[in-house]
Structure 1
Amino acid sequence: MLEPAYQVDVVIVGAGIAGLSAAHRLTSAGITTAVLEAAPYTGGRMSTEKIDGFRLDRVGQLLSTSSPELRLTPGLDALPLRRFAPGVLLHRDGRAQRAGAPAGGGSARGALHAVRALASAPRGGAVPPGRTGAPVGGAVDQARLGAALGRIATAPVERLLSRPELPAGQALARRGVPARTIEGFLRPLLAALLCDPELSTSSRCADLALRAFAGGRLAIPEGGADVLPELLARALPPGTVRTGVRVTSVATTSVTTAEHGRVRCRAVLLATDARAAAELLPGLRVPDFHPVTVVHHTTDDPAAAFATGASLLLDADRGGPVAHTAVLSTVDPTRAPAGRTLISSTVLGTPPQDLDAAVRTHLARLYGTSTRRWETLAVHHTPQAVPTMRPPHDLRRPVRLMAGLYVCGDHRDTSTVQGALHSAHRAATALLTDLGATGSLHTADPAPRLPKAA
């Protein structure tokens, strides 16, 4: 018998959230799809390690409840989110202060009300319940910051993208934001959102991140970061996703794998990280990356949880390696076994040599309690965690390289979960247009079979 001209409509290389999201949109439109992943698991950087009942994220990117992509991406309508306490908790000059965005995400008055210090502590101490302290900056700074958050929460995206583009730190200073507000609030906040403590990110990308923060609540997926890709994979036809399959070369009408030889198709979508995509398609731009290290501790001492509750705690002083930390078992109790506390801390940039000792010393100051008896569960270092977005940054890099060859991922959009999902949406739309989704489609088996290697 003659071999078919192709075995599947689209081959997607990479089973991260971009590839899985694109696959869902394609299969929903009747396009047969095979998702090939070299790793033994899906999700890419959105993976979670399970140790003795703990669920430990490898990168731990923060989500926002105001993100439209989380609401509109097919397959994620059932994504359970656990919210942090409104705003963030800032540790500065030995005191902890709360600064936040309006709970409803609307008015400048609401933002002004939210940007208040709700708690303070003596130098070197944690936040005792029920105490109040001074606001971030003075009354004038508080009013300006509250009004700015209120405005940016409702600003049209097009208006933010039309602003002159500079490194975020320079742009904030030129807008007249006081240095104490930048250093005491915006720098630690944007470092947590963008993994960029130096504020070298494009001011347009920083504005989008602040808009999401001001318009909603910071959150994490219930049960771990890998819940998000698992939901996407579960919504696909059985057999669509194949793990442990390494693609060695790509063309517009086929891919070659180490395990199954050549797989013929009508189009190929690269949904890997930037470096892996450039290895398959030399000439693709490879950005620099922000390295991220996540250190997970546990303790049976509830003092840390009582001190900060479900807050994201940021170090405005930059007095140690930890950029931000949280008692995740308070935010999401499913991440730790009963009676145990999970503290997850993020280190940005190159970690110090004696990482665990430096992190413990820093956390003792931030939480105001001894960390000597804390148990280190895991240390996850990801050198290429987040693509940099230095200006000029193209927020909508092309996803269609040529007819039959497409690319998506956070390196084609913003370097966030939302950016990865949005680039997948753009790539799927381009594919459906080129394949003529309303016309005659190939009717292959919904779980296409891969050939055996020669």
Structure 2
Amino acid sequence: MSLPDQVDVLVVGAGLAGLNAARTVARSGRSVLVCEASDGVGGRVRTDTVDGFLVDRGFQILNTSYPALRAAVDLSALDLHPFVPGAAVRTEDGTLHHVARRPSWLPRTAVTRLLSLRGKLGVAAFTARSVLTPPQRQAAAPERSAADDLARFGLHGADVDRFLRPFLSGVLGDGELATSSRVVSLFWRTFALGDLTLPGRGIGAMTTHLAARLPAGTVRLDTPVRAVAPGRVTTDHGPVRAGAVIVATEGTDAAALLDGRVEAPRPFALTSHYHVTDEPPTRRGLLHLDGTGGPIVNTMVLTAAVPSYSPDHRHLVVSTVLGAEPLPEPRLRAELERIWGVGTARWEHLATRPIPHALPPALPPTPAGLRRPVDLGDGLLVAGDHRDTPSVQGALVSGRRCAQAALAALH
């Protein structure tokens, strides 16, 4: 495989950040090359096919309220399928409670026994703060841990452990709720305002769509980058000179490539287990949470929301646990039977996806505005959700910021 001798901007990594950086550079008229070590685009935002089923690399959700997503992607081209706007929570006494994030479900939430009266008022006040405060002010607000911030609204004890902890753990990978209050407030805003969806062809359709919007030949797969230096990148297929180099990989890989110019984060890990069944435990695309503090933070019948994840009449169930260690199958099935209230003996194990670097931590102290520097000087830049918020929004924004900084340096 031949590579060009020289380009204006070389991007290392074809994940969300790298692809959006390349798109921004290409639209300016500058030449850009993306080197991707694997055999496909997407990084952590990728979908595999296993026995005809679509299997995302970890349970992921596309939130339509992200401004950077709407700017970078034609959402109408993704065949988005929305989830039911709420969650079901199984508690210690075996009761299945329902909570909502949309007005149509509020009466049902108001009478649920999942939350105390103080908890319901606290969630309402926390939501109002997140929705009504401009995002820029939230990103620079006085900072504390998510747990401490929730406590300021009277949310602690069972109100947190039954609902907020399992829900936020699945989103952040942080079971201790140590994440910055700035990040959690912004996330809560997006949950209240946006639709939670998945593309008909899996979460990887988003990155495939981004790559397709680049000039032909921009992305080179199976092209690992071995070394990065100002103005030069060494790949398995030879060196390439570049006016600017954007390292758009996961945080620990970026720190290794950049030889200590950025600090390696200690990422949160998640593992997703996929099962196939003829008889689904529900036919509603509704997220189910374990309110007992068990190892499974969430589980869902994906095909109830997105039927095209299955090649036939069977249904696909995804279940997420914290950490990179898969849960032993007997323990996993026992927990699923309790959460769903049905037997799992006939469920067929399809795949297990440990994601050791699922999400970068966003622990206090974070920089005001939640943005870490992307321009390292000497034409070297770094992009990824570890430079902004740990989200699709953060990855896309960091890619755009890097591209803009690179273009400014080239001028």
Global fold match (TM > 0.5): yes
**2:239 matches 1:241:** no
Spell out the pairing of 1:20-169 with structure 2 (5 A cutoff). Answer: 20-74=19-73, 78-93=77-92, 94-102=94-102, 110=103, 114=106, 116-117=108-109, 134-169=112-147
1:383 corresponds in structure 2 to: 356
Map 1:25-424 → 2, pairs under 5 A: 25-74=24-73, 78-93=77-92, 94-102=94-102, 110=103, 114=106, 116-117=108-109, 134-259=112-237, 261-283=238-260, 284-302=262-280, 304-306=281-283, 309-319=284-294, 321-351=295-325, 355-394=328-367, 395-424=370-399
Distance in 2 (alpha carbons) for counterparts of 1:115 and 1:147: 17
Quick one: distance in 1 between partners of 2:310 and 2:382? 37
1:401-445 per-position Cα deviation (integer Å, ceiling 9, x unaligned): 114111100111111111111111111111222223xxxxxxxxx
Cα drift, residue 164 of structure 1: 2.1
Deviations 1:113-133 (A, max 9, x none): 627349xxxxxxxxxxxxxx7
The TM-score with structure 2 as length reference comes to 0.93
Structure ID, larger Rg: 1
SS of the residue corresponding to residue 325 of structure 1 reads strand
In the alignment, residue 349 of structure 1 is paired with which amino acid? Answer: G
Cα pair 2:167 2:297 within 8 Å, conserved: no
- The question of whether the paired residues in 1 share the 8 Å contact of 2:272 and 2:318 is answered with yes
- Partner Cα distance (2:49, 2:293) in 1: 30
Shift of the 144–248 alpha-carbon distance from structure 1 to 2, 3 Å rule, reads closer
Q: How many residues align?
A: 404
Tell me, in whole angstroms, the C-alpha distance in 1 between the residues paired with 2:386 and 2:268. Answer: 12
Q: CA deviation at 1:49?
A: 1.6
Amino acid at match of 1:425: R
- Residues 169/148 of structure 1: CA separation in 2 closer, same or farther (3 Å cut): closer
| Structure 1 pair 232–340 and aligned structure 2 pair: CA distance change class (3 A) | same
* CA pair 344-193 structure 1, distance change in 2 beyond 3 A: same
What is the identity, as a one-letter code, of the residue corresponding to 1:356?
E
For the structure 1 residues 240 and 422, does the alpha-carbon distance in structure 2 shift closer, same or farther, using more than 3 Å as the test?
same
1:36-71: CA deviations, max 9, x gaps? 011111111112120222001112222322111211
Stretch of structure 1 that moved more, 89-98 or 134-143: 134-143
The one-letter amino acid of 1:392's match is P
Q: CA separation in 1, counterparts of 2:56 and 2:19?
A: 19
Q: What is the alpha-carbon distance in structure 2 between the residues aligned to residue 152 and residue 291 of structure 1?
A: 26
Alpha-carbon contact 2:10-2:33 (below 8 Å) kept: yes
Q: Given the two structures, how large is their TM-score scaled by the length of structure 1?
A: 0.84
Could you tell me whether the CA contact under 8 Å between 1:48 and 1:224 is conserved in 2?
A: yes
Shift of 1:73: 1.5
- Give the aligned partner of residue 106 of structure 1: none
Identity across aligned pairs (percent)? 41
| C-alpha distance after superposition, 1:259-289 (max 9, x if no partner) | 2x21112111111111221221111211111
Secondary structure (helix, strand or coil) at the match of 1:264 reads: strand
Output the CA distance in 2 between the equivalents of 1:13 and 1:138.
50
Matched residues in 2 for 1:404 and 1:138: separation? Answer: 55
* Structure 1 runs of 4+ with >4 Å offset: 74-77
Q: Pick closer, same or farther for the CA change 1:69–1:79 going to 2, 3 Å.
A: farther
Alpha-carbon RMSD: 2.0
For residue 402 of structure 2, the aligned residue among 410, 417, 427 is: 427
Residue 174 of structure 1, CA deviation: 3.2
